[in-house]
Amino acid sequence: MARPRNGALMDALRRLSVDQWIVYLLYGATVCISLLPIGGNVLIIVAGLLALLFDRQRFTGTLHWLQWAVLGFILWTGISIVNSANVPWSAMSWLYHIGMYGSIYWLMTYYMDTERRQKTFLSLFCMTGFLVCLGAGYQYFYMTPEHIHEWVDNVHFPGLMRRMYGTLQNPNLLGEYLLFTISIGGLGTMQVLKAKDWNRSAMMGFAVAVMLLCLVLTYSRGMWLSLAVAVFVAGICVERRLLYALLAVPLVLFFYHGEVSSRLWSLFSGQDTSVMLRWALWDSTMYMIEDFPIFGIGWDTFWLTYPDYNYFIQDPTVIIYHAHNLYLQVAAETGPISLCLLLAILLGHSRNVQKQKHLSIPFRYGMTLITVVVLVSGLFDHALYSQQVSLVLWQFLGFAMSVIRNKI
Q: What is the Cβ-side half-sphere exposure of residue 321, based on CA atoms within 13 angstroms?
A: 6
Q: Which of 211, 192, 195, 259 is nearest to 34 (CA)?
A: 211
For residue 238, what are the CA distances in angstroms to 243, 248, 366?
10, 19, 11
Predicted pLDDT at 1: 45
Q: Is the whole model's pTM more than 0.95, yes or no?
A: no
For the chain, the domains span: 66-406
Which pLDDT does position 147 carry in this prediction?
61
Q: What is the pLDDT of residue 219?
A: 86
Tell me the C-alpha distance between 384 and 301, whole Å.
Answer: 15
According to the model, what pLDDT value does residue 249 have?
73
- Residue 356, phi then psi, degrees to nearest 5: -85, 90
Element (H, E) at 390: helix 387-406
Tens digit of pLDDT for each residue in 297-349?
A: 999 999 999 888 886 666 666 678 888 999 999 999 999 999 999 999 999 99
Task: Say what the pLDDT of residue 17 is.
Answer: 87
| Interior/surface letters 127-136, b for 16+ CB within 10 angstroms, e for the rest | ebbbebbeeb
Residue numbers of the chain with a pLDDT score lower than 50: 1-2, 155
